[in-house]
Amino acid sequence: MSDLWTAVKDLPITIESSSFETLLPNGPTAMEDFSTTQLHLHGRGEEGIGEQVGMAPTQEGLRASDFPVTGAWATLADFLAHLDRIDMWPEPPEYDLERNWRRWTFESAALDLALRQANTSLAEALGRTPQPLTFVNSFGLGDPPDADKVANRRALHPTVGFKLDVAPSWTQEIMDTIAAVEGVAVIDFKGHYGLEIEDEAALLAMYERTLATFTEVLFEDPHDIPAVTEMLTPLADRVSYDAPITTVESIGANAIQVGTVNVKPCRVGRLQELSRLYAHCEAAGIQMYNGGMGELGVGRGQAQLLAALFHPDAPNDIAPSDYNLEEPPPGLPGSPLDPAPDRGFRRR
């Protein structure tokens, strides 16, 4: 059984043409004017696809001619080294992390194409069997909070768990209502997104209520302020980091030394570093799960496939994309999800 990078780096790849495609959600979402962009790479009668996440303004004007990627390379590693010589951002992005998102778009599409040209799948290359995938549905309750939203979702989709964005407006009554619903797996504090703390006293009171009410869930991305660190350090085995995790080194660079991390492939950006993260966490006994970034196309299935290969039983925040609609329809796939691996780097 190979590590990810060793398994794929020597695959040859030929790219004859490329193009971009804009994707739109199937209905209203919590974010207005949301879209993603798929990259298509063609060569030797095969197609590789990757997905650029992020809000629409970061993707406007993407033209295949701006990214000289056609050619033949002896190995995938050679092609990815070629990407280092391409200026993917003639104008700097609004957020530096967008560089990783775009890099992952090209790396995932290239991996898909190289595997397909080799007439194999990622699972076969790794020597791993994808397992049924546990997933959760992530959302906030709005302002003012809709205390019944979690129970209503659970009634409509009874196998699906939840990753919930807590807010100071959650009263004790709201928390008790939510805690009574089976399936709440992760409470996300969003403490590493650069959001302004408007009232620190209210924030700390929210933490106190949350920790007292949700006694078994995982606490994600706590704020890096002394009072919060003091509260959560004794619960380090139930704390995880998401937004700060981009490299192996980033795991230990946080206020609390945790045993669980959210490894988002598009946030890491590079296959080689993602492979390092997987190997490090497996060797160190650090639990992993992953999350989506609003993917509408192939990227969601790619994240699901990686989870099915490396951490299938975790609270993976990669529910099928229609769960992100304001009103998810009935009849969506339940958890655990059939891994349904396809050729290349895809789910069917």
Same domain, 59 and 135: no
Mean pLDDT of 42-60: 82
Q: Residue 119: CB partners within 8 Å, gap ≥ 6?
A: 343
CATH number of the domain that residue 52 is part of:
3.30.390.10
Q: Is residue 320 part of a domain?
A: yes
Q: Is residue 183 domain-shared with residue 285, that is, in the same domain?
A: yes
Position 54 pLDDT exceeds 90: no
Average pLDDT, the chain: 94
Q: Are residues 150 and 273 in the same domain?
A: yes
312 in the same domain as 209: yes
Average pLDDT over residues 173-194: 95
Q: Is 45 exposed, middle or buried (0-12, 13-18, 19+ CB in 10 A)?
A: exposed
Instruction: Judge contact between 160 and 154, C-beta under 8 A.
Output: yes
346 in a structural domain = no
Using alpha carbons only, what angle is made at residue 241 by residues 202 and 166, rounded to the nearest 5 degrees?
A: 30
- Which of 209, 242, 215 lies closest to 138, judged by CA? 242
CATH code for position 283:
3.20.20.120
Residue 112 vs residues 4, 47, 68, 313, 343: alpha-carbon distances, Å: 13, 8, 18, 25, 8
Is 143 among the domain residues?
Answer: yes
314 and 215 together in one domain:
yes
Judged against a pLDDT cut of 90, whether residue 123 lies above it is answered with yes
pLDDT given for residue 195 in this prediction? 75
Residue 348, domain member (yes or no): no
Query: Do 52 and 110 lie in a common domain?
Result: yes
Lowest pLDDT segment from 30-34, 91-95, 291-295: 30-34
The answer, yes or no, to whether residue 57 has pLDDT greater than 50, is: no
One domain, residues 77 and 132: no
Res. 323: pLDDT tops 90: yes
Among 104, 120, 136, identify where a domain stops: 120
Q: Would residue 201 count as lying in a domain? A: yes
Structure pTM? 0.95
Q: What confidence tier does 8 reach under pLDDT thresholds 50, 70, 90?
A: very high
Q: Are residues 116 and 130 in the same domain?
A: no
**167 neighbors 140 (Cβ within 8 angstroms):** yes
319, part of any domain: yes
Task: Tell me what percent of the residues of the chain surpass a pLDDT of 90.
Answer: 87
What pLDDT is attached to residue 55?
59
Same domain, 175 and 319: yes
Residue pLDDT, tens place only, 243-288: 999 999 999 999 999 999 999 999 999 999 999 999 999 999 999 9
Q: Which of 97, 120, 143 is the last residue of a domain?
A: 120
In this prediction, residues 305-325 reach a mean pLDDT of 96
- Helix/strand/coil for 6: helix
Q: Note whether residue 343 is domain-resident.
A: no
Give the residue numbers spanning the domain of 135.
Answer: 126-324
Count structural domains, the chain. Answer: 2
Q: Looking at the predicted structure, is the pLDDT value of residue 45 above 60?
A: yes
Full strand arrangement of the beta sheet holding 218-220: 136-140, 161-165, 184-188, 218-220, 239-241, 260-262, 287-289
Residues 182 and 309 in one domain: yes
Judged against a pLDDT cut of 80, whether residue 136 lies above it is answered with: yes
Bond prior to 336 in cis (omega within 30° of 0): yes
Residue 330 domain-assigned (yes or no): no
Q: How many CB atoms lie within 10 A of CB 274?
A: 24
| CA proximity to 204, closest of 161, 249, 258, 168 | 168
Confidence at 32, pLDDT banded by 50, 70, 90: low
Residue 320 — pLDDT band, cuts 50, 70, 90? very high
Q: Are residues 46 and 169 in the same domain?
A: no
Final residue belonging to a domain, choices 63, 98, 120: 120
Least confident of 49-63, 145-159, 226-240: 49-63
105 shares its domain with 131:
no
pLDDT at residue 56 greater than cutoff 70: no
